[in-house]
Structure 1
């Protein structure tokens, strides 16, 4: 009887260890970049980035599950041209006086075997929230020799129809509706 109880206790302990809690990560703003690209009449591509961002990731490698929340300070948009930045912040486009932040929240990581394929979630922009799927072009975790902690990160992208979020400026003139979002993200284990 004692050996049976011992075996059950050991099995229970092993099962608990195998299902460890997800790890918590804080986004490293020095290795995280959020940019967008939009076609300009077929002649060129307008690009800009958001200089201020923050967020957190929860990731369980064994279960292949996770959560992510990334917040962008829309007032930090930076195209490299002050006049264009001012227009991007205006009511015509991001309306940063009324909606100073944008947020992506997800609780679904999709894997193909051991490879992260995509992250699905909700994007809030201009006061509206709609689902998006962000494709993972690459993703890995590594032990940072500088931080002496685990870092997970990758390169992600999605294409959205901006009019879903009420960003309609220039559509009547032939400006593209589709915007390519590119996110390079690294997060440090806490």
Structure 2
């Protein structure tokens, strides 16, 4: 019979640390996760807004450089900073929150260049229609979060869409652009 000693256990620790990590589950931190949008307003200014209520999960395998992000935003929580504009955005001309109260993004691929995350591709469901979208990564990292006492992963991402693909056509004939810039700031805690 072989006895396990404290010395043999300690000696094996570096080998255990070298074993491949498995995919981990993360829950988004609503305090550090936002989706904002920007659209030109006749070349004079830029209209901006965000969604204040959101939820989601992330599955991430650092070694395989794979993962899946699922984010859901409550379209009724739109916040442009101007209540009358928010009402218009929530109406049938834009987000039509009565019929489509949520906006959903589900990723299908993480794209790396070496060890750097370059983009996340997936599908955006808006106004009952689903189309592909690519978010470019401005930055991304994982770190030990001292407040949550767990690992946090997060980044800053940007995408540009043609809103008419989802049927959001209001104002195009008046000269408002089709292109909308989406900025996604995401941070999630390992569970």
Does TM-score exceed 0.5, indicating one fold? yes
The TM-score normalised by the length of structure 1 is: 0.90
Q: Which runs of 5+ in 1 are unaligned?
A: 1-13
Match in the other structure for 2:73:
72
Cα distance in structure 2, aligned partners of 1:148 and 1:87: 42
**1:150 correspondence with 2:151:** yes
Report matched runs for 1:33-52 at 5 Å: 33-52=34-53
TM-score normalised according to structure 2 size: 0.90
**Which residue is 1:164 aligned to?**
165
Alignment deviations for residues 35-84 of structure 1 (CA, whole Å, 9 cap, x no partner): 00000000000000100010000000000000000000000000011100
User: Is 1:54 aligned with 2:51?
Assistant: no
Tell me the SS of whatever aligns to 1:62: coil
Q: CA deviation at 1:148?
A: 1.2
String of CA shifts for 1:97-141, please: whole Å, max 9, x gaps.
Answer: 000000000120000000000000000000000000000000000
What residue number does 1:111 align with?
Answer: 112
What is the Cα deviation at residue 19 of structure 1? 4.1
Quote the residue 2:3 is aligned against. none
Q: Structure 1 stretches (4+) deviating beyond 3 angstroms?
A: 17-20
Alignment partner of 1:175 is 2:170: no
RMSD: 1.3
Give the match's secondary structure for 1:167: coil
How many pairs align?
176
Q: Does 1:132 align with 2:119?
A: no
* Residue number in structure 1 paired with 2:122: 121
Distance in 2, matches of 1:89 and 1:21, equals 41
2:72/2:102 contact within 8 Å kept:
yes
Whole-angstrom distance in 2 between the partners of 1:54 and 1:119:
18
